[in-house]
Structure 1
Amino acid sequence: MKRIETLYSKYLDGTITDAEKKELFDRIRNADDQSLEQLSEKYLSQEPPEDLSFLQEKTDRVFSKIKGQLNLEPEPKKHLIWHWLPYVAAIIITTAVFIFIVNQRITSRVRSGDFVQISEDIPAGTNRATLTLGNGRSISLDQANAGQIAAEQGVRILKTDEGQLAYEVLANTPNSAAYNTISTPNGGQFTVTLPDGTTVYLNAASTLKYPTSFVGAERHVELSGEAYFEVAKNKGRTFTVSTDKQKIQVLGTHFNVNSYQDNGQIITTLAEGSVKVITSTGSKLLIPGQQTIVNANSIKLQEADLETAMAWKNGRIEYKDADIQTIMADVARWYNIEVHYEGSLPERRFMASIRRDANLASLLKVLRLSDINFEMRQTAQGKLLIVKP
């Protein structure tokens, strides 16, 4: 390790030769984890100079993540600015070197068919979606700048300053309309205001198809996944939402539709106004505070827990009397991970309530209070959460 320290000192003060730089990288690459930990602890344990203290939080996060990937035990928090670093650039270079080596080791282990246990500090989803225009062109909405992003059939398509999608219908709009599709991935959500003024909040792993302008007596959209609708009132034009097994008719109202296929049922919950849910087996008229549950053979009307049903749209994760499979299905979509089960899990119902922007570790901490255990892994396919007794 003495040779690495010598080379590293030359690397930081800019006196290292190309040959010595290659030797340094080779030595770090081939060093064992314990030696690397000792080296980092030596330089990461001193108080930072006053003029570099603003970097404390950033380096804390970086090195905590690295240690989590190496599966090291947690230790008391230490100041992680290197006391002898004279330049900010040195910190950036140092971080890059360690990240490169750690990631290279993780990649080689994953490719060999193994897994690496990683931190549960997985961030929550964000505003992410893809808009597909009528001509097939795709636009990444989270990367698009505010302002006009496209135009079709006499309609301007905009991304607002608030980061939402909106439509502006111009004069002399054609009698026929193009169809747009907005899709959110796992770990994504987005809000769109349709041409008639209806606002739709789209949850993760969901898709909404709609015309760029509503022509005729009906305003019709198609949904896969989950969305909350605030329908603009228009007595002359019924608003309809089609899913895999049902159709919803409204004039002006607020309601939520959960139609994820892996749930095996479609839940429509009414917050205000009235809606009619129509299926092949019958129909139900809802009043505020009610919901229908539709499966392949039946439609059931019941009282709803509005707080729980609307929680995701209001920025919360809320469960009351939910089984672990229901919770984990939501976790997989919102945190963009896979979930597998090991062993025989107890038949237990759960309650949980946290902010939706909280990281995964915060939710798992609540669930562990009910004697459910978790392990986060990195595999060749991605992040995998193991649920076990």
Structure 2
Amino acid sequence: MNSRLQELLNLYLNNRATPDELDELWDYTSNPLYTNELQDLLADAYQQDHIGKEATDEQKQTILNFIFTSTEAAAPIKIKRIGLWPRYAVASAAAVAFIAIGVWFFNRSPKLEGGKNSSNYAMNDIAPGKQGATLTLSNGKKIRLSEATNGELANEAGVIITKAADGQLVYEIKNTSDENKINTIKTANGETYQVRLPDGSAVWLNAGSSLTYATNLLQNGKRTVTLTGEGYFEVAKDKAHPFIVSTGNQEVEVLGTHFNMNAYADEPVRKTTLLEGSIKLTSENDSEILKPGDQAVSQSGKLHVRTVDAELAVAWKNNKFIFEQQSIQEIMRSISRWYNVEVIYTGEITKETFWGSVSRFDNVSSVLARLEASGSVHFRVEGRRIYVLP
């Protein structure tokens, strides 16, 4: 398939593709199965100066727009965005090519060559977070789940709490009880964990988050949990018992659905993103009904609903950082939580916004090097402190 895709791409870049060949190329570029292959071919084309003398300036600009700014109106090439760099206005094809291609190849390189502080990263690298959490039982007993052996951990009010072989915390009701025991599962910075509640609902907790709930989950006829930080929910359907997620000044009510809530105390806004089903979101005196693809942004008690790519909101659950026009402060807050580091700003903070993706399995050096490749920000790592420099 590589040779055919290469052929079609060469025809397009040299302005010799027929309408049928353009349609065939569009079929490939619209298919995520060929995204990586297309990225490799485009990178090789730029690296070896094979764009083609016959290609028009408009075609060159189209390619660069997709690589650099993802201007989706510029058909027929559609390229998945990669790497991390600031979104500048495109001034000219030549200028953008110089910047974009340099960042493109830097981000594709497995080495940290070229970064201003690459040697500093190598000497002071920080490993990514891992699976872990602390379970606090109703009697105050704390269990470090990363250290606990698999099997039964506790039996409270007729509910058996076990640690499964995959590390997941599982609740199972063995007999009914009027006694209500409250549990809390909490992830520290640098930890993530998954819990399966007694109704079958699954919850993934991001770093620096907690979930509080009754062992049998029911309170006044409703399935009720309290969230701090960020969690992704896959709620089991139960029309007789609505599922309530409370984050303090905000509440979500569902019957059965998939959604993500970001309610970190240090974030200026709270975001609730719906992937499947429907939810009712209430924030102080404001409320909204969300449909799949909606994201409700709550700030100062007011809700604003917008349409987003919902998968981006759960990138963390899928072990990725994906940034969409985010400031360096937003990005560094995520890095601080996942790598369990302190972030210190020195000098003027860049006003550029960044977009792109990187694996959460990577060491912090990989993320910082990609950000630094933009030229608009630099870093120094000392122990578990990251200094952000202009």
TM-score (norm 2): 0.68
> Cα–Cα, structure 1 residues 234 and 297, in superposed 2: closer, same or farther, change >3 Å?
closer
Among candidates 198, 201, 204, match of residue 201 of structure 1: 204
Give the structure 2 partner of residue 321 of structure 1. 325
Residue identity in the other structure for 2:296: T
Give 1:345 shift: 2.2
> Cα–Cα, structure 1 residues 276 and 73, in superposed 2: closer, same or farther, change >3 Å?
closer
Structure 2, unmatched stretches of 5+, are 1-116
Give the structure 1 partner of residue 374 of structure 2. 370
Give the structure 1 partner of residue 156 of structure 2. 152
1:305 matched to 2:320? The reply is no
Give 1:328 shift: 0.2
Is 1:120–1:360's contact at 8 Å kept on the other side of the alignment?
no
Give 1:117 shift: 9.0
1:260 matched to 2:264? The reply is yes
Residue identity in the other structure for 1:167: Y
Is 2:223–2:244's contact at 8 Å kept on the other side of the alignment?
yes
Among candidates 294, 300, 307, match of residue 298 of structure 2: 294
Residue identity in the other structure for 2:307: E
1:238 matched to 2:242? The reply is yes
Alpha-carbon separation, structure 2, partners of 1:168 and 1:217: 18
Residue identity in the other structure for 1:293: V
Is 1:133–1:179's contact at 8 Å kept on the other side of the alignment?
yes
Residue identity in the other structure for 2:190: G
Is 2:169–2:196's contact at 8 Å kept on the other side of the alignment?
yes
Alpha-carbon separation, structure 2, partners of 1:346 and 1:282: 34
TM-score (norm 1): 0.68
Give 1:229 shift: 0.2
Is 1:117–1:377's contact at 8 Å kept on the other side of the alignment?
no
Structure 1 segment 167-206 matched on structure 2, within 5 A: 167-171=171-175, 173-206=176-209
Is 1:377–1:384's contact at 8 Å kept on the other side of the alignment?
yes
Is 1:245–1:295's contact at 8 Å kept on the other side of the alignment?
no
SS of 1:257's equivalent in the other structure is strand
Length, aligned pairs only: 272
Could you tell me the percent identity over the aligned residues? 42
Alpha-carbon separation, structure 1, partners of 2:382 and 2:122: 5
Among candidates 334, 340, 344, match of residue 336 of structure 1: 340
Offset from partner CA, 1:334-375 (integer Å, 9 cap, x none): 000000101112210101211111110111111012111000
Alpha-carbon separation, structure 2, partners of 1:295 and 1:263: 10
Alpha-carbon separation, structure 2, partners of 1:214 and 1:335: 32
Alpha-carbon separation, structure 1, partners of 2:124 and 2:263: 28
Is 1:118–1:376's contact at 8 Å kept on the other side of the alignment?
no
Alpha-carbon separation, structure 2, partners of 1:174 and 1:73: 59
Offset from partner CA, 1:195-232 (integer Å, 9 cap, x none): 11100000000010011103342100000000000000
Structure 1, unmatched stretches of 5+, are 1-71, 75-115
Alpha-carbon separation, structure 1, partners of 2:330 and 2:124: 19
Residue identity in the other structure for 1:373: H
Higher relative contact order (CA 8 A, sep 6+): 2
Give the structure 2 partner of residue 346 of structure 1. 350
Among candidates 208, 228, 235, match of residue 232 of structure 2: 228
Give the structure 2 partner of residue 105 of structure 1. none
Alpha-carbon separation, structure 1, partners of 2:193 and 2:121: 32
Give 1:161 shift: 0.3
CA-based RMSD: 1.7
Give the structure 1 partner of residue 91 of structure 2. none
Offset from partner CA, 1:89-111 (integer Å, 9 cap, x none): xxxxxxxxxxxxxxxxxxxxxxx
Offset from partner CA, 1:168-192 (integer Å, 9 cap, x none): 1102x21232010000000000000
Alpha-carbon separation, structure 1, partners of 2:310 and 2:365: 26
Give 1:320 shift: 1.6
Residue identity in the other structure for 1:387: V
Q: Which piece of structure 1 moves more, 218-227 or 308-317? A: 308-317
Structure 1 segment 59-208 matched on structure 2, within 5 A: 119-171=123-175, 173-208=176-211
Alpha-carbon separation, structure 2, partners of 1:239 and 1:221: 8
Residue identity in the other structure for 1:125: G
1:384 matched to 2:389? The reply is no
Alpha-carbon separation, structure 2, partners of 1:291 and 1:318: 16
SS of 2:217's equivalent in the other structure is coil
Residue identity in the other structure for 1:298: K
Q: Extract structure 1 runs of 4+ deviating beyond 4 A.
A: none
SS of 1:364's equivalent in the other structure is helix
Alpha-carbon separation, structure 2, partners of 1:352 and 1:119: 26
Is 1:122–1:361's contact at 8 Å kept on the other side of the alignment?
yes
Alpha-carbon separation, structure 1, partners of 2:237 and 2:370: 41
* Structure showing greater Rg: 1
SS of 2:337's equivalent in the other structure is helix
Alpha-carbon separation, structure 2, partners of 1:324 and 1:370: 12
Give 1:119 shift: 3.0
Residue identity in the other structure for 1:178: K
Residue identity in the other structure for 2:385: L
Give 1:281 shift: 2.6
Is 2:122–2:365's contact at 8 Å kept on the other side of the alignment?
no
SS of 1:189's equivalent in the other structure is strand
Alpha-carbon separation, structure 2, partners of 1:236 and 1:199: 19
Is 1:155–1:170's contact at 8 Å kept on the other side of the alignment?
yes
Is 2:185–2:212's contact at 8 Å kept on the other side of the alignment?
yes
SS of 1:325's equivalent in the other structure is helix
> Cα–Cα, structure 1 residues 126 and 159, in superposed 2: closer, same or farther, change >3 Å?
same
